[in-house]
Structure 1
Amino acid sequence: MPDCDFGDPLLQVLSELAPYLRRHTRQYLLGTVAVVMTALFITATPRVLALAIDALRSGGAGNGELRRYGLTIALLALSAAVFNLMQRRQMIVASRQIEAELRHDLFSRLTTLDRAFYDRSRTGDLMNLMTSDLATVREVLGPGFNMGSRVTLIAVGALIGMLALQPALGALIAVAVPALIVVAALLRRRVSQRFQEAQAKLSDIAARAQENFAGARLVRGYALEEREQRGFDDLNEEYVQLNLSLARVEAALPAVMGLLMAAAWLAILLIGGRLVIFGAGLSVGEYVAFTSYLALLAGPVVDFGRLLNIYQRGVTSWERLRRLLDARPLVRDSGRTDFSITGVQGDIEFRNVTLSIDGAQLLCGVNLRVPRGSSLGITGRTGSGKSLVAALIARQLDPTGGRVLIDGQDARELPLLVLRENIGFVPQEPFLFSDTLSENIAFGLPEARSLDEERALPMERVRWASGVAALEREVAKFPGQYDTLLGERGVTLSGGQRQRTAIARAVARQPRILILDDALSAVDTRTERRLLANLRELLHERTVLLVSHRVSALQHLDQIVVLDEGRVAEQGTHEELLARGGLYAELQRLQATSGGPGEEAEPV
């Protein structure tokens, strides 16, 4: 016997969605009342029709009585339409509101998740969750509830009406219900499996498209448009085939339902017709009513297949959404967080810090100290762990061993909000929004947090920050200056201009700790010197960490740390490290002989 508990996963989904459903209890209660009234009016109509036909056949019905029957049927139909409209308005509106609430919570969860989550997630997958999967869950809460409650009550009412008119014939029709449940149970898991595969493939398509849009210049630069098109077409064809497979499974249920209904019509014609002909307990009016009830039952039977698909798709999509809602950042405030801390002075210390990710040890026994208001340069070969040191200070990651201290306290004891509000972090590949230059620079300022379009940005601070970042000369040449709209991810700027815009954004906040993670790699040497001079002059009271491969960017800093294979290989001032003739001196010799980078490209 197949597993027939296909309602259990749906009940589990509804129990998990209960907090959202409770906010809309009134709407769903009104919708349920409207469903009950709709079903009552619809299922009462065949009974009135039977009385009218039998009255006509008996010859005892006058014009007045016929008008009353006609008016009653019209009023029943009008009442059913009004309550059906009320039902849809209540349930569909509630489902749209819940969809908006879920989208809010999903976005809120995504904004709290940390680097580890995004390192293993694809943008296309997340976009698919926020659109396709969310819409599928909404269908359960709106059309699914609306149709499910209506067809269930109408089906029950029709069966009761048939049993009341002719118990034996009604019972014969009723035995088809277990057959429907068996068929539905057989198909349930196949629908779920194929829908999961189709949704996964749709995520692949979204991810492939997103990567190609973001890397459009690279694709064109390598003349690989045709290859990427073929790859996309292959994914698209696989998605079509998966959906065709799903459609074949979903189509089986309505086909079986149709056969069962055809058998029911045949039974009524053969058995019910003989009862009418021989006057064996079924009048002509009752026969017409019986067939009307069967017609009413046909709709729910056919809709049952569609409902099963809606519910099963919804269950599958909710499982995907729930995994996202249940995700928690590895780096977060905890029981050891001291919420009495409201500020940061900028003293940094690493005590025997070790970091392992996926079993690989990336940092080992790192010890260093950066006094408040001083500057530290971090350099080393590619893959030596430079960016990881910066990430640990900003608590994008937590060490697996040792301690990172801020102002003498373990960084894990500081509230994340307080720590990050006092850190200006600039990665090597900065992200810029598709907005004006001024909005991008002012992004982290309190004045920019309002979404009011009439808000006034602190332009003096914006101009000051762009001056520190050695960006003001280029801005003066832009058509709209600070009101210049940047393309997506700042594509209209050169690489160096994007990096300096990100530096201006970090500097504008006047953070206690400024971290530049190889944020000058695309900046020419002359601009780099001017920018670093500005930083030394204006941020002398701030703690500055500069991660760079270039010795020229580090030589004027208070101290320099050289990393090698996750360990501190050398530490000292520029002059001290050159005198030792070690790894730092080797880097300096190599860069001196190879020459510095050229000038930046002009903006597009």
Structure 2
Amino acid sequence: MRGHADHPARRAGALLNAVTTPPAAPAGARRSDWSTLAKLFPYLWHYKWRVLAALGFMVCAKLANVGVPVLLKELVDRMGGATGMSTAVAAAVIVPAALLLAYGALRFTTSLFTELRELIFAKATEGAARKLSLQVFGHLHALSLRFHLERQTGGMTRDIERGTRAVNTLISYSLYSILPTLIEFALVLGLLALKFDPMFVWITLTALVAYIVFTVSVTEWRTQYRRRMNEMDSNAHGRAIDSLLNYETVKYFNNEAFEARRYDEHLEQYRRAAIKSQMTLSLLNTGQQLIIATGLVAMLWRAASGVADGRMTLGDLVMVNALMIQLYIPLNFLGVLYREIKQSLADIDKMFTLLEREREVADASGAEALVLPEQGPPNVRFDDVSFAYDPARPILQGLSFEIPAGKTVAVVGPSGAGKSTLARLLYRFYDITGGSIRIAGQDIRQVTQASLRQAIGIVPQDTVLFNDTIAYNIGYGRTEDPGRPGERGASREEIEAAARAAHIHDFVSAQPLGYDTMVGERGLKLSGGEKQRVAIARTLLKNPPILIFDEATSALDSANERAIQAELQSVARGKTTLVIAHRLSTVVDAHEILVLEQGRIVERGPHAVLLEKNGAYARMWALQQSVSDAA
């Protein structure tokens, strides 16, 4: 039998926008295969009794498998002694019925123990894959916003998919193929050494060593082509997903042909690598068959000579032939198995490398939950805060202000001044480089991130929705009952009440499926204003003590903006609120307005006071009023 060909990876995977490839590790930085196995071992050893039971069944299966040729020899020898007798006499006298039954029982037992082994070990295999996949998924959510902003959607989905599959592949091939073959080989060598002269053992060992050395050497050499295939496949997959996710942009600029050419360039590179891989696979298969054929011929020649000399029986010749065929059949797949195991180890290593990626933002040792005041909302204070995404380009420079409990502070200023960065720092998507941010007197770096984010609600400028129903996206604001973790906390009535407050209930009710209407990938079936109102509704449903409105009404028309602005002011009453805005008309009622320029506060005060100063805020107000009048 020939080794399996390299099948192209499927290109029609689901368009996931969850994870992507981290920066590639330097060549040679990959851990050793033994180190990867050592890291995987605890996931399997969690099911140690199943592992041990599976190994026991595997040994029993191989004992039964080796016993089949032995019984076959006995049957042939007994039949050989029946020359000249009638068939009836031979069947009734010379060939004991027990021998036939034992032969059939061994055949059945081999399959039985093999199936029991797979059945017992299935839970361990699937459990290890599930645990590892869940750990990777959780770790990806724990990584910083910087990691997710730098990702390339599509590439890592392929790596994660391969890594999860690799756990099953590695365990299946090693436990179900490599280890059983080694056990069977040891049993066959022992049997040959006991029953025949040492030459049989040396022929078998020589053929095996030659086979393994040739297979490993050629497989190692051709791994570069297999790796190149995977790289090209990931690149093509990433290119396709990136293009499809930006479908509208492609249409806007009439670049379908350009995208097709770029995709085809990756496919052509993949095709060339696949052809080279197939050529080397053919070389591997041919060499393997030559070694196997040579070893088999040498064994049968030795056995036939023994029969001719009277040192061996015809049954011995049949047994040797059956043992060799039984042994060489799994060896035919050694090249494929070795390559797949090596590839699986590499894929699993990528997952472990991702798991070992340091969290840029992590809970401090001994961090406790944020303690909120028993009565009323907390205050928020930025004290001499400095921050930079890149050390060479500071964003915030010694920023200090306070949002008093239950008050609203607005931040305005030109693009790039650092306004939205304030929201990201308050959520602790990044850690500040200087100063402190305190909620109710507690440094947010000393409390758990989960409790911090539970206390804050945000309506972002760019709303991205799940590809699910409107009800699901609104209800996402409160997915659990605080008193009963794990149980959904928002009823349909509460979801509809939040939708009414966000002025989207009438729109939803007008849809044929109502709240069960699907919003599409990233919510693209809804307009910008509709998406933003869904975001407002789910934040209202969360009902946190601290609110952030980051251009919360930027995608709304004037009529809806005024209506929702009034609702937001009502919702913000009695809550500590940070409003980030470009439109100054939306912040005139704020208790204090901060004018931010180049990461510094250049003006501060209520709307009327800032207008009287006739400074930066007054100029921005006059400019926006003139634009509004012209429109």
User: Do Structure 1 and Structure 2 share a fold, with TM-score over 0.5?
Assistant: yes
Judged with a 3 Å threshold, the aligned counterparts in structure 2 of structure 1 residues 277 and 460 are, in CA distance, closer, same or farther, namely closer
2:543 to 489, 505, 510: 510
**What is the alpha-carbon distance in structure 2 between the residues aligned to residue 101 and residue 191 of structure 1?**
32
Residue segments in structure 2 that go unaligned for 5+ positions in a row: 1-30
Judged with a 3 Å threshold, the aligned counterparts in structure 2 of structure 1 residues 81 and 472 are, in CA distance, closer, same or farther, namely closer
Q: Confirm or deny: 8 A CA contact 2:303 2:316 kept in the other structure.
A: no
Aligned positions of 1:78-89 closer than 5 A? 78-89=108-119
Which 4+ stretches in 1 moved above 6 angstroms? 448-453
Aligned twin of 1:223: 254
1:349 to 376, 381, 403: 381
Deviates more, 1:55-64 or 1:552-561: 55-64
Aligned positions of 1:403-418 closer than 5 A? 403-418=436-451
Q: Confirm or deny: 8 A CA contact 1:139 1:314 kept in the other structure.
A: yes
Deviates more, 1:37-46 or 1:12-21: 12-21
1:65 matches 2:94: yes
Identity of aligned residues (%): 26
Aligned positions of 1:543-582 closer than 5 A? 543-582=576-615
**What is the alpha-carbon distance in structure 2 between the residues aligned to residue 446 and residue 286 of structure 1?**
71
Aligned twin of 1:20: 43
Q: Confirm or deny: 8 A CA contact 1:154 1:296 kept in the other structure.
A: no
Judged with a 3 Å threshold, the aligned counterparts in structure 2 of structure 1 residues 545 and 126 are, in CA distance, closer, same or farther, namely same
Aligned twin of 1:595: 628
Deviates more, 1:384-393 or 1:522-531: 522-531
**What is the alpha-carbon distance in structure 2 between the residues aligned to residue 491 and residue 361 of structure 1?**
35
Deviations 1:210-230 (A, max 9, x none): 333332233223322222222
What SS does the aligned partner of 1:367 have? Answer: strand
Deviations 1:65-118 (A, max 9, x none): 324443332222121122122223233453233323322222222233331221
Aligned positions of 1:144-183 closer than 5 A? 144-164=174-194, 165-183=196-214
Residue segments in structure 1 that go unaligned for 5+ positions in a row: 1-7, 599-604
> Could you state the TM-score of these two structures normalised by the residue count of structure 1?
0.89
- Opposite residue 102 of structure 1, the aligned amino acid is L
**What is the alpha-carbon distance in structure 2 between the residues aligned to residue 103 and residue 184 of structure 1?**
32
**What is the alpha-carbon distance in structure 2 between the residues aligned to residue 205 and residue 502 of structure 1?**
34
Judged with a 3 Å threshold, the aligned counterparts in structure 2 of structure 1 residues 53 and 25 are, in CA distance, closer, same or farther, namely same
What SS does the aligned partner of 1:300 have? Answer: helix
Q: CA deviation at 1:498?
A: 0.6
- Opposite residue 436 of structure 2, the aligned amino acid is R
**What is the alpha-carbon distance in structure 2 between the residues aligned to residue 387 and residue 95 of structure 1?**
46
Judged with a 3 Å threshold, the aligned counterparts in structure 2 of structure 1 residues 192 and 362 are, in CA distance, closer, same or farther, namely farther
Q: CA deviation at 1:307?
A: 1.6
Deviations 1:1-57 (A, max 9, x none): xxxxxxx94443332122321232233222212211111111122222223333444
Q: CA deviation at 1:161?
A: 2.6
Length, aligned pairs only: 589
Q: CA deviation at 1:314?
A: 1.0
Aligned twin of 1:3: none
Aligned twin of 2:165: 135
2:422 to 389, 413, 417: 389
1:541 matches 2:574: yes
**What is the alpha-carbon distance in structure 1 between the residues aligned to residue 542 and residue 120 of structure 2?**
48
What SS does the aligned partner of 1:544 have? Answer: strand
Deviations 1:297-342 (A, max 9, x none): 2113212212202211110110111122223432221126234736
Q: CA deviation at 1:403?
A: 0.9
**What is the alpha-carbon distance in structure 2 between the residues aligned to residue 153 and residue 21 of structure 1?**
21
**What is the alpha-carbon distance in structure 2 between the residues aligned to residue 438 and residue 88 of structure 1?**
43
- Opposite residue 55 of structure 2, the aligned amino acid is T
**What is the alpha-carbon distance in structure 2 between the residues aligned to residue 149 and residue 167 of structure 1?**
25
Aligned positions of 1:227-238 closer than 5 A? 227-238=258-269
Q: Confirm or deny: 8 A CA contact 1:155 1:300 kept in the other structure.
A: no
Judged with a 3 Å threshold, the aligned counterparts in structure 2 of structure 1 residues 82 and 482 are, in CA distance, closer, same or farther, namely closer
Q: CA deviation at 1:343?
A: 6.1
Judged with a 3 Å threshold, the aligned counterparts in structure 2 of structure 1 residues 558 and 249 are, in CA distance, closer, same or farther, namely farther
**What is the alpha-carbon distance in structure 2 between the residues aligned to residue 596 and residue 390 of structure 1?**
32
Q: CA deviation at 1:447?
A: 5.0
1:530 matches 2:563: yes
Q: Confirm or deny: 8 A CA contact 1:434 1:487 kept in the other structure.
A: yes
1:76 matches 2:106: yes
2:349 to 274, 295, 319: 319
1:210 matches 2:241: yes
2:298 to 261, 267, 270: 267
Deviates more, 1:299-308 or 1:338-347: 338-347
**What is the alpha-carbon distance in structure 2 between the residues aligned to residue 191 and residue 422 of structure 1?**
55
**What is the alpha-carbon distance in structure 2 between the residues aligned to residue 172 and residue 296 of structure 1?**
16
Judged with a 3 Å threshold, the aligned counterparts in structure 2 of structure 1 residues 351 and 247 are, in CA distance, closer, same or farther, namely farther
**What is the alpha-carbon distance in structure 2 between the residues aligned to residue 218 and residue 254 of structure 1?**
48
What SS does the aligned partner of 2:367 have? Answer: coil
- Opposite residue 614 of structure 2, the aligned amino acid is G
What SS does the aligned partner of 2:95 have? Answer: helix
- Opposite residue 324 of structure 2, the aligned amino acid is L
Deviations 1:380-437 (A, max 9, x none): 2222211111111111111011111112221112221221111001221112123332
- Opposite residue 558 of structure 2, the aligned amino acid is T
**What is the alpha-carbon distance in structure 1 between the residues aligned to residue 557 and residue 566 of structure 2?**
14
**What is the alpha-carbon distance in structure 2 between the residues aligned to residue 369 and residue 313 of structure 1?**
55
1:302 matches 2:332: yes
**What is the alpha-carbon distance in structure 1 between the residues aligned to residue 168 and residue 94 of structure 2?**
47
**What is the alpha-carbon distance in structure 2 between the residues aligned to residue 543 and residue 597 of structure 1?**
36
Aligned twin of 1:337: 367
- Opposite residue 124 of structure 1, the aligned amino acid is G
What SS does the aligned partner of 2:410 have? Answer: strand
**What is the alpha-carbon distance in structure 1 between the residues aligned to residue 555 and residue 96 of structure 2?**
88
**What is the alpha-carbon distance in structure 1 between the residues aligned to residue 248 and residue 485 of structure 2?**
32
**What is the alpha-carbon distance in structure 1 between the residues aligned to residue 228 and residue 615 of structure 2?**
55
Aligned twin of 2:229: 198
Deviations 1:468-506 (A, max 9, x none): 433344344334443433223222211011112101211
1:52 to 75, 78, 84: 75
**What is the alpha-carbon distance in structure 2 between the residues aligned to residue 277 and residue 523 of structure 1?**
97
Q: Confirm or deny: 8 A CA contact 1:91 1:141 kept in the other structure.
A: no
Judged with a 3 Å threshold, the aligned counterparts in structure 2 of structure 1 residues 569 and 252 are, in CA distance, closer, same or farther, namely farther
**What is the alpha-carbon distance in structure 1 between the residues aligned to residue 64 and residue 349 of structure 2?**
38
Q: CA deviation at 1:590?
A: 3.0
Judged with a 3 Å threshold, the aligned counterparts in structure 2 of structure 1 residues 45 and 93 are, in CA distance, closer, same or farther, namely same
Q: CA RMSD in A?
A: 2.9
> Could you state the TM-score of these two structures normalised by the residue count of structure 2?
0.86
Q: Confirm or deny: 8 A CA contact 1:347 1:407 kept in the other structure.
A: yes
What SS does the aligned partner of 2:525 have? Answer: coil
1:111 matches 2:144: no
Q: Confirm or deny: 8 A CA contact 1:394 1:423 kept in the other structure.
A: yes
What SS does the aligned partner of 1:378 have? Answer: strand
**What is the alpha-carbon distance in structure 1 between the residues aligned to residue 549 and residue 384 of structure 2?**
23
Q: CA deviation at 1:153?
A: 1.7
Deviations 1:223-250 (A, max 9, x none): 2222222222322333333344344445
**What is the alpha-carbon distance in structure 1 between the residues aligned to residue 405 and residue 203 of structure 2?**
87
Deviations 1:482-537 (A, max 9, x none): 34332232222110111121012112222111112223221123322222222223
Q: CA deviation at 1:141?
A: 1.5
Judged with a 3 Å threshold, the aligned counterparts in structure 2 of structure 1 residues 109 and 539 are, in CA distance, closer, same or farther, namely same
**What is the alpha-carbon distance in structure 1 between the residues aligned to residue 505 and residue 461 of structure 2?**
21
Deviates more, 1:319-328 or 1:416-425: 319-328
